[in-house]
Amino acid sequence: MKKVNFNLSFGFLLGAIFLFLWIRMINWDEFISFFYQFDLKSVLLFSGFYVLAYFFRSLRWKIILSPVQELQYKESFFIFMTGLLINYLIPIRAGELTKSFILKIRHKTSISQSLPTILIDKITDLFPIILIMLLIPLIGVRLNRTLNMIIILLLGIFIFFMGFLYFAANHKNTALQILNFLLKIFPNKFRLKFNNFIENFVNGMSIMQNRLKENILVYLLTFAAVISEAIYIFAVFRAFGADVSYQKILFGYTLINLTYILPTPPAQVGSNQFMWALIFSFALGVDKNLTAAAVTFSHLLTSIWIFTIGAISLFVLKIKFSDLLPKFN
């Protein structure tokens, strides 16, 4: 429980800092004025694309996971959405571990076998960085300092993780030797406990080798999820009266999506608002008060979706939220 409390405290502090920075940017009179012209019906209609994006992602994870554990479409979606709910409540991406815990509870699947599939799934979220590079000349984005720093950072993360995947998949023995060497700084009791875990984990990193059809599907589903989510975000901006192209929204929201692989505060409060301001307003030139109104409403609506579907998922999976908390101690 101490670890959970520390993670929550750290998350709330991080969120408070981002929220403070965001609040200082806003002219509240202008912010409120945008809600007078807001078209609620169209946003509610298009919010289905947000849920559809997560169905695509759950289907992608199902494909990656299949050599380890076969799941039905419905079960993979509910496990995925439970993980998303936990990510919203506990920072440091705790929801990713939750998926492994649920697989162990429901199917006795080893965590060391399922965890590589979750890591690979998260790494595939970085593939849209390629889409970013293709969109730059098409939408005439001016690469200012802010945008350059964000793109370089995300590209660096992408190259690092892809290098890690390739190395672990093609040089298993060397990867094991390196990890075992790093473990020497820990007590013998700890090393013995994790020896089998590390071996299974490294072996699991090659899970997508020699699966051409599945790899193509994984890439297509990744881009389908990004495109679907961007349709919803585009509808939100248009509902607030923004004169902005879908391509620019796709570009900006893809960048924001890529930052979600990093730890976030509970419910992404603070970090979400700050990243929207940083990318849509400072990098892409959308009015900062309009962006603030858009992110406020979008965040509220998507949170309702996540908490509702997450709660339904826990019920369908017959798992209590309290049963998952001890796993993080």
Residue 242 counted as domain residue: yes
CB atoms within 10 A of CB 36: 7
Residue 177 counted as domain residue: no
Residue 295 counted as domain residue: yes
Residue 102 counted as domain residue: yes
- Dist CA 274 CA 244 (whole Å): 20
- Dist CA 214 CA 216 (whole Å): 5
Question: What pTM does this model have?
Answer: 0.80
pLDDT at site 272: 76
Phi, psi of 285 (to 5 degrees): 80, 15
Q: What is the pLDDT along the chain (329 residues), one digit of tens a residue?
A: 444 454 556 566 666 777 777 788 788 888 888 888 888 888 888 999 999 999 999 999 999 999 889 999 999 999 999 998 888 877 656 677 889 889 998 999 988 788 888 888 888 887 777 777 666 666 666 666 767 777 777 778 777 777 776 776 677 777 767 766 766 665 565 555 555 556 666 666 667 777 788 889 998 999 899 999 999 999 999 999 888 888 888 888 888 877 766 666 666 666 778 788 888 887 788 888 998 899 889 988 999 999 999 999 999 998 877 767 645 55
Contact 120, 207 (CB under 8 A): yes
HEC secondary structure over the chain? CHHHHHHHHHHHHHHHHHHHHHHCCCCHHHHHHHHHHCCHHHHHHHCHHHHHHHHHHHHHHHHHHCCCCCCCHHHHHHHHHHHHHHHHHCCCCHHHHHHHHHHHHHHCCCHHHHHHHHHHHHHHCCCCHHHHHHHHHHHCCCCCHHHHHHHHHHHHHHHHHHHHHHHHHHCHHHHHHHHHHHHCCCCHHHHHHHHHHHHHHHHHCCCCCCCHHHHHHHHHHHHHHHHHHHHHHHHHHHHCCCCCCHHHHHHHHHHHHHHCCCCCCHHHCCHHHHHHHHHHHHHCCCCHHHHHHHHHHHHHHHHHHHHHHHHHHHHHHCCCHHHHHHHHC
pLDDT at site 169: 67
Residue 62 counted as domain residue: yes
Burial of 271 (0-12, 13-18, 19+ CB in 10 A): buried
pLDDT at site 174: 77
Phi, psi of 26 (to 5 degrees): -95, 135
Residue 61 counted as domain residue: yes
What is the span of the domain harbouring residue 76?
2-23+37-142+208-328
- Dist CA 273 CA 7 (whole Å): 21
Q: How many domains does the chain have?
A: 1
Residue 267 counted as domain residue: yes
Residue 262 counted as domain residue: yes
